[in-house]
Amino acid sequence: MLSTADALATLLGAATPVALAGRGTETLPTLDALNRVLTADVVSPLDVPPMHTSAMDGYAVCVADLAQGSRRLPVSQRIPAGHAPQPLAAGTAARIFTGATVPPGADAVVMQEQTETADGDVTFLHTPKAGEWITAQGADIHKGSVILPAGTRLTPQALGLAASVGCATLDVARRLKVAVFFTGDELTMPGEPLRPGAIYNSNRFTLSGLLRNLGCEVTDYGIVPDRLDATRATLREAANGHDLILTCGGVSVGEEDHVRPAVEAEGRLAMWQIAMKPGKPLAFGAVRRSEVQRQTQTQPQTQANADEAFFIGLPGNPVSSFVTFLLFVRPFVLRLAGATHVSPRALSLRADFTQAKGDRRNEFLRARVNPAGGLDLFPNQSSAVLTSTVWGDGLIDNPPHHPISAGETVRFIPFTELLY
């Protein structure tokens, strides 16, 4: 069985970003670029702030004037934010407000709480040092510096940073196009009668939601009948116009598991057994876009050609498909989109439970943070218990054969690091 690290490395090694592969960039208004991935560095055309500004409501002064012993100065001008000041007249002070431009000739600001005013003069109760309460030009950003490198996934604060240097548009990778379908004659959609032996298709809602969280354009082909011809037909249709085909269920070797032979007939496939729990089976490969562009390659670990769509097949158990998506599909999708950083950040937290026996596989245990700052374990870690994914705050990454003792520090990956 492959380790989780080896499986992920193989997937990421195959994922050439769509922009680098010549398959799509676009220029968007900065307001519309949330969660998209930059394809070009954002270089600041100016200093931020572009001038010396006041960090306080108060009075701009020349320190030398106060150093001469005078504590009372006439107020020569008033400077609101957004207004250009006049040079500060010698021996005077300027009333100034937070964010306003410091006038030439002033080298400090005294906050208003340290002054008294009367008859158009201001008396200073504090002698400032040069630079006090002044935000220097370029204190945040220097002109010509790269403020957002290519490969950055644009958060709300990143959009604000781009806007702070005047960027009205940004060059980003196009949205990834992902086709999904689900196999199993036992699957029924919510709202339909639940016939004997059937279950509701929760995976359709979970996986489609996860893909949309990542900004993908999702084409949902729904539930495909458990027949080889139907599965092959859906694969052929899905390959056209999509970067990735994602399926759930049907990748085992049973007589009713048709995804594996269908992908092998329409493209190429590797079946992996990953040393993880929940999870284990994962399929990775590619599907040809048309019959006239058949390829003879047999290694799905290589980059898909322009005439192929990537394929990933997930296990059918709801928690298994959820966890394998978070650990493998999410970073693969982000790398295809061109994101530089795709690995979730983990926390070191205290286990407030005991698990006497470790599994032979790498376990990903559903847990949540308790009010004391430790971790509680969901009592039923079955791969069929979807309740645990809502109850929990994240996953404990527990190495193989490792029992957990109460009080020890474990590696915890919050869902906030895995869902977006």
Residue 281 preceded by cis peptide, ω within 30: no
pLDDT at 3 over 90: yes
The pLDDT, as a whole number, for residue 215 is: 93
The pLDDT, as a whole number, for residue 183 is: 87
Burial 320-357, CB ≥16 within 10 A → b, else e: bbbbbbbbbbbbbbbbbbbbeebebebeebbbbbebee
pLDDT at 163 over 80: yes
The pLDDT, as a whole number, for residue 303 is: 47
If 0-12 CB within 10 Å is exposed, 13-18 middle and 19+ buried, where does residue 154 land?
buried
- Report the mean per-residue pLDDT for the chain: 92
Place 293 in a pLDDT band, splitting at 50, 70 and 90. very low
CA angle, residues 365, 2, 213, in degrees to nearest 5: 55
More confident residue, 281 or 165: 165
pLDDT at 84 over 70: yes
User: pLDDT tens, 120-156?
Assistant: 999 999 999 999 999 999 999 999 999 999 999 999 9
Q: Looking at the DSSP assignment, which residues form a beta bridge with residue 322?
A: none
If 0-12 CB within 10 Å is exposed, 13-18 middle and 19+ buried, where does residue 309 land?
buried
Q: Quick one: DSSP state of residue 189? A: -
User: pLDDT tens, 195-214?
Assistant: 998 999 999 999 999 999 99
Place 252 in a pLDDT band, splitting at 50, 70 and 90. low
User: pLDDT tens, 18-53?
Assistant: 887 666 899 999 999 999 999 999 999 999 999 999
The pLDDT, as a whole number, for residue 271 is: 85
Pure H helices in 214-347: 228-239, 259-266, 318-324, 330-336
Quick one: tokens of 256? Answer: 């009713």
pLDDT at 253 over 80: no
The pLDDT, as a whole number, for residue 304 is: 55
pLDDT at 54 over 50: yes
Q: Looking at the DSSP assignment, which residues form a beta bridge with residue 394?
A: 367, 414
Q: List all residues 6 or more positions away from 379 whose beta carbon is below 8 Å from its beta carbon.
A: none
The pLDDT, as a whole number, for residue 185 is: 80
Q: Looking at the chain, which residues constitute the CATH 2.170.190.11 domain(s)?
A: 53-135
Average pLDDT of 6-24?
87
Question: Distance between CA atoms of 372 and 352, rounded to whole angstroms?
Answer: 9
Q: Looking at the chain, which residues constitute the CATH 2.40.340.10 domain(s)?
A: 347-417
Write down the architecture of domain 53-135 according to CATH: Beta Complex (2.170)
The pLDDT, as a whole number, for residue 344 is: 96
28-46+148-173: CATH class: alpha beta
Q: Looking at the DSSP assignment, which residues form a beta bridge with residue 153?
A: 37
Backbone phi and psi for residue 394, each to the nearest 5 degrees, phi listed first: 170, -165
The pLDDT, as a whole number, for residue 204 is: 95
Q: Give the CATH number of domain 347-417; options: 3.30.450.20, 2.40.340.10, 3.40.50.720, 3.30.300.30.
A: 2.40.340.10
The pLDDT, as a whole number, for residue 68 is: 77
Q: Looking at the chain, which residues constitute the CATH 3.90.105.10 domain(s)?
A: 28-46+148-173
Average pLDDT of 180-196?
89
Superfamily name with CATH number, domain 4-24+175-186+223-336: MoaB/Mog-like domain (3.40.980.10)
Average pLDDT of 57-79?
93
Burial 235-263, CB ≥16 within 10 A → b, else e: bbebbeebbbbbbbbbbeeeeebbbbebb
Place 330 in a pLDDT band, splitting at 50, 70 and 90. very high
More confident residue, 173 or 294: 173
Question: Distance between CA atoms of 405 and 420, rounded to whole angstroms?
Answer: 31
User: pLDDT tens, 226-244?
Assistant: 889 999 999 999 999 899 9
Place 158 in a pLDDT band, splitting at 50, 70 and 90. very high
The pLDDT, as a whole number, for residue 336 is: 95
The pLDDT, as a whole number, for residue 19 is: 83
Strands 108-111 and 281-288: unpaired
